[in-house]
Structures are given as structure tokens and as C-alpha cells.
């Protein structure tokens, strides 16, 4: 917008309607640039005009029920004696029907690069003591606390209220309170860095469908161990990622620069083809968040420390502005399809019974709805009823496509359920198969890849060993070759969709591809 000084009543109504529409399109968020013409010319406004424009914007926001925060101001060199400014403003609406914006960020990186500590500092609001205090609340098992290594997938939440302030566990809030007072939630999926737990990490990346990935690199060790592998996984699954260089308080400036250069060199390789963008100021962070969402080729790089807290607020600014990848139109199209819920984990809670956790990939799921779950070992589907829905530990009536939740099922027998099942609406007539074909690329293999080979196949939330039955048009495959291959699941049939992304591994063998035929 150029300027919004004292608009007439009619124009004001028009502007409010426009703002409503913009907020709806951005799922509750919009960024206004004031002092810029419609064709993108940076004109700038004088001090008084800017003040009046921001006042009008506030009035508009109040009318819609939104809050505004000034992201950044810039002076424009224009041939005038008066200094002229342009301002960027974030308008965020406290969502109606409690639909807060929910972004899922997977956290990757080599073992001991400081992933869990960084999440601990972000979500607890306290700095680390350099001895691993911040990460204690993230661990789920005793052996993790003893060894200091993450071996399971844990979830942490960070909220932002509509003014863009961080809402976390400081001030002794509970998870429910964080959900209630945030208009934007970021769920961090803390994955394991150790090579031994690679299958858990792959499962976290394929089944929880993260919107973004955060690759953590330690400044003093640089790129080592599983860093390259995790980078490759994020690229193979087409998850846009940004990079955090941690532990900068441990080493000199030269070492940090060396690590940054090393990263930039890898990102610019023909295989990656990314454009690294080093973030040094708030201004950079705002630019990074907007560019990152528009073109996936840009990779922001942050250098920070969880102990001294250096540059930590730049990461918070970035996460606050980061827009969701899908707009509301795509989400509505998904919501009109039939219900389909992917089962990612199953656990038993005392006095509640069996609880199923996962993601709704399409449709809408309401309380009291009848669904079927399967496939069982003999390929059948069982009927069950959704008793209640919980999202981020607070009750929820309706679940929309793309949201993660847990559904308690009471007395349902747990031994009948397993990871990789789906819950779908009864009229869907789901396609289940034990033999499928996929077009694959072999990324790495020690010898030749041939018929009768056994690999572990990951497709979404499905993870099972399969035998290679036939390679079309070739006897054997070598590293880097493409082919269409027929696989057969060893244990039980699974629910698959044509076109689903597929990842398989066996020892050091790795490959990616997509399902072509069932």
C-alpha cells in the first residue's frame, strides 16, 4: 500500500474487506508494506503520513480482530529534504474456531551437534549451562538422559502470540496454556543424530510430514558424520530446509567462518543447487523468511549459541514470520476429499485405553464419526468410532486436513493395531496391496542390486521389509541407475497410493523413487 491517510468511510470499508480476504488467504497472516506503490516502486512516506497510515492500519486491524507489529523500517534515498520511510507490518489474526497456524519443523544434524539443547533453550526460555541442562526435559527414556543421545522422536512446541512475542514454558506455563495464548504454533520434531538410529530419523521425516527441516551443524566440528546424509534425506523428500550453526561460543570467529564457507561450498554444488543466505541482523531474518517461503532454492544460515544466547532472537524472528507452505485454497481442496488418517504411533494410557497418534492427510474428522482401520495381517479393515480428538494436548472437536492429533479408542485391542495403518471413511474402498511397482534411482550401493534382494521400504508412515521380485528391462542395477522395480512385502499387505514418495535402505544401500503401480 502507498499510504492510508484519513480514508473516507467507503474506502475504509473496502480496505477492511481486502484485509479480511488477505488474512483468510494467508491462513491468519499477512505482511503489509507501506510506502510502496502497487507496481513495486519504493516511494516512502514522511514522518506524519507514516504515523497516520499506521494509525489507519491499526483501526483496520481492530475491526477485523487482528494485531499488528512493525517488522522493520527503512529510509529511502529520494530527492527531497524530508527523510522518507517505508515500513513493513505483520498483521496476524487471533484465529476464529481455535485454528491456530501449525507448522511442523523437523530437526536434523550430526550426533552431538546440539539439536536437543537448542530446542530446550527455545522452548524453556532459559539458556544452557554448557553441561546439557537445557535438553533434560526433552528426553523420553532413562538411557537418553544417561548417554545424552536422543534415540526416539520427541515433540516440542513453541508458540507465538498475535503480537509476535514468544510463548514458551517460561513463566511456568503448561502446554495447554501455550496452545490457548498462541496464534501460531511451531511443533519441533526432535530426531536422533546417531547413525544407529537412522531408521527412526527416516521414519520421523516420512511419516510426520514436516513443513520445514532445520539442519543443526556444530561450529567446531563442521560437516561430519551424518550431516551429509541428513542433508540428502531432506532433499530427496523435498523438504525445504534452513541451517543453524550452533556452539559459536566455543570457538574463534575464524573457525565459524570456515564452517560457513564449508557449508556454502556444499550447498552450491550441482547436486544441491541452493543459494546460501547468511543471517546477521533482524533485517536479514525478515528477508530470509519471506524469500525462503517463495523459492525453495534459498537456504538461510544462522550462527548462534545456546549457552551465551548469541543471535538466538534472530532465529525467533525468522520462525515468527515463516509463512505456511500451503495456502488456504489447497487445504480446502484436501478437506473436500474423503477422510484418511495415518497412524504414526500407538500407546496405552492408564484409564483411557489405547491411543492412536498421527496425521490427517485428507478430509475432515469429527468426534463420533465411524471409520475403518487397517489393513490387518490378512488385509481386512476393522470398524471403530472416534470417541474424542486431542491436538497438542488440548481437546478439539474437528480435525482438518494436514493437522496432527491423537485419538483415544478406549477398549479397542492394541495388538490389532500397528504403525503404518490408516483410518479411512468406510465408503472409500481403500487400495491395499502386497506387491507394488516403483520407479527408483539407486543412490548408493556397494555391489550390484539384483532380484531377490531384501530392503526396508519407507512410504509415508509405512515401514516394512520387501523383496525385489523383478527389475524391468535389466538384470542388475548399479549406483546412480534408474529402473522400474517390482517389490513384494514380506509380512502383511499395506495401504499405498500411486505417486507416493518412496525411500528404501539396506545397510549402506540407499535409493529413492515413487510408486507407479499396485
Domains with residue ranges and CATH for the chain = 9-93 (3.30.110), 101-325 (3.40.50.300), 329-424 (2.40.30.10), 432-517 (2.40.30.10)
Which pLDDT belongs to residue 184? 87
Which pLDDT belongs to residue 97? 54
pLDDT band at 314 (very low <50, low <70, confident <90, very high): very high
CB 34, CB 41: distance < 8 Å: no
DSSP string computed for 280-293: -SHHHHHHHHHHHH
> What average pLDDT score do residues 330-347 get?
86
CB 193, CB 157: distance < 8 Å: no
**Whole-angstrom Cα distance, residue 515 to residue 518?**
8
> What average pLDDT score do residues 325-346 get?
83
Average pLDDT score over the chain: 87
Which pLDDT belongs to residue 99? 63
User: How many C-beta neighbours within 10 Å does residue 427 have?
Assistant: 8
Which pLDDT belongs to residue 392? 74
Which pLDDT belongs to residue 124? 86
Q: Give how far Cα 252 sits from Cα of 244, 255, 315, 473, Å.
A: 17, 5, 21, 56
What's the CA angle centered on 190, arms 421 and 227, to 5 degrees? Answer: 105
Which range is least confidently modeled, 36-40, 93-97, 309-313, 319-323? 93-97
- State the Cα torsion 487-493-496-502 to the nearest 10°: -40
| pLDDT for residue 167 is more than 60 | yes
- Which of these, 432, 433, 473, 476, lies nearest to 452 by C-alpha position? 476
| pLDDT for residue 324 is more than 70 | yes
> What average pLDDT score do residues 301-330 get?
87
| CA atoms in the 13 A half-sphere facing the CB of 482 | 3
Grid cell digits, residue 356: 492412536
Percent of residues in the chain assigned helix, strand, coil, to nearest 5: 30, 35, 35
Which range is least confidently modeled, 55-69, 173-187, 254-268, 482-496? 173-187
Which pLDDT belongs to residue 464? 92
pLDDT band at 218 (very low <50, low <70, confident <90, very high): very high
Q: Residues 70-83: pLDDT tens digits?
A: 888 888 876 677 78
Higher-confidence position of 320 and 101 = 320
pLDDT band at 318 (very low <50, low <70, confident <90, very high): very high
**Whole-angstrom Cα distance, residue 52 to residue 54?**
6
What share of the chain has pLDDT > 70, as a percent?
A: 97
Q: Give how far Cα 263 sits from Cα of 36, 72, 119, 224, 256, Å.
A: 36, 29, 22, 11, 11
Grid cell digits, residue 340: 484418511
pLDDT band at 434 (very low <50, low <70, confident <90, very high): very high
Amino acid at each position: 500500500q502507498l499510504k492510508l491517510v484519513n480514508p473516507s468511510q467507503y474506502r475504509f470499508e473496502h480496505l477492511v474487506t481486502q484485509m479480511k480476504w488477505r488474512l483468510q488467504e494467508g491462513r491468519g497472516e499477512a505482511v503489509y508494506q507501506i510506502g510502496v506503490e502497487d507496481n513495486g516502486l519504493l516511494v516512502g512516506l514522511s514522518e506524519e503520513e507514516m504515523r497516520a497510515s499506521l494509525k489507519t492500519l491499526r483501526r483496520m486491524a481492530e475491526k477485523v480482530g487482528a494485531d499488528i507489529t512493525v517488522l522493520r523500517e527503512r529510509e529511502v534515498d529520494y530527492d527531497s529534504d524530508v527523510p522518507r520511510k517505508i515500513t513493513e507490518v505483520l498483521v496476524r489474526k487471533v484465529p476464529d474456531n481455535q485454528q491456530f497456524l501449525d507448522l511442523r519443523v523437523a530437526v536434523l544434524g550430526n550426533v552431538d551437534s546440539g539439536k536437543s539443547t537448542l530446542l530446550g533453550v527455545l522452548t524453556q526460555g532459559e539458556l544452557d549451562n554448557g553441561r546439557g541442562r537445557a535438553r533434560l526435559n526433552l528426553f523420553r527414556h532413562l538411557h537418553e538422559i544417561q548417554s545424552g543421545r536422543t534415540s526416539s522422536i520427541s515433540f516440542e512446541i513453541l508458540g507465538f502470540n498475535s503480537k509476535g512475542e514468544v510463548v514458551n514454558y517460561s513463566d511456568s506455563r503448561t502446554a495447554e496454556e501455550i496452545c490457548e495464548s498462541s496464534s501460531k504454533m511451531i511443533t519441533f520434531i526432535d530426531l536422533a543424530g546417531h547413525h544407529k538410529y537412522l531408521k527412526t530419523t527416516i521414519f520421523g521425516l516420512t511419516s510426520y510430514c514436516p513443513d520445514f527441516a532445520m539442519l543443526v551443524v556444530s561450529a567446531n566440528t563442521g560437516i561430519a558424520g551424518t550431516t551429509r546424509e541428513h542433508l540428502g534425506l531432506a532433499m530427496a523428500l523435498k523438504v525445504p530446509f534452513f541451517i543453524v550453526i550452533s556452539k559459536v561460543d566455543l570457538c574463534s570467529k575464524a573457525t565459524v567462518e570456515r564452517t560457513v564457507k564449508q557449508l556454502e561450498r556444499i550447498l552450491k554444488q550441482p547436486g544441491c543447487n541452493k543459494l546460501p543466505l547468511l543471517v546477521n541482523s533482524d533485517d536479514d531474518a525478515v528477508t530470509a523468511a519471506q524469500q525462503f517461503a517463495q523459492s525453495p532454492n534459498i537456504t538461510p544460515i544462522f550462527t548462534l549459541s545456546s549457552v551465551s544466547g548469541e543471535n538466538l532472537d534472530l532465529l525467533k524472528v525468522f520462525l515468527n514470520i515463516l509463512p505456511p507452505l500451503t495456502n488456504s485454497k489447497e487445504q480446502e481442496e484436501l478437506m473436500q476429499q474423503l477422510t484418511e488418517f495415518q497412524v504414526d504411533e500407538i500407546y496405552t494410557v492408564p484409564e483411557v485405553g489405547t491411543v492412536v497418534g498421527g496425521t490427517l492427510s485428507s478430509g475432515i474428522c469429527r468426534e463420533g464419526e465411524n471409520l475403518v482401520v487397517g489393513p490387518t495381517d490378512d488385509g481386512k479393515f476393522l470398524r471403530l468410532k472416534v470417541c474424542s480428538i486431542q491436538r497438542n494436548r488440548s481437546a478439539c472437536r474437528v480435525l482438518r486436513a494436514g493437522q496432527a492429533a491423537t485419538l483415544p479408542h478406549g477398549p479397542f485391542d492394541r495388538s490389532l493395531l500397528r504403525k503404518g495403518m490408516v483410518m479411512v471413511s468406510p465408503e472409500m474402498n481403500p487400495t491395499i496391496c502386497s506387491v507394488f511397482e516403483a520407479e527408483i534411482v539407486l543412490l548408493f550401493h556397494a555391489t550390484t542390486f539384483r532380484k531377490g534382494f531384501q530392503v526396508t521400504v519407507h512410504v509415508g508412515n509405512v515401514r516394512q521389509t520387501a523383496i525385489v521380485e523383478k527389475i524391468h528391462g535389466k538384470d542388475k542395477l548399479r549406483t546412480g541407475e534408474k529402473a522400474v522395480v517390482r517389490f513384494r512385502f514380506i509380512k502383511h499387505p499395506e495401504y499405498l497410493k500411486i505417486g507416493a514418495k518412496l525411500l528404501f535402505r539396506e545397510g549402506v544401500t540407499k535409493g529413492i523413487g515413487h510408486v507407479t503401480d499396485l
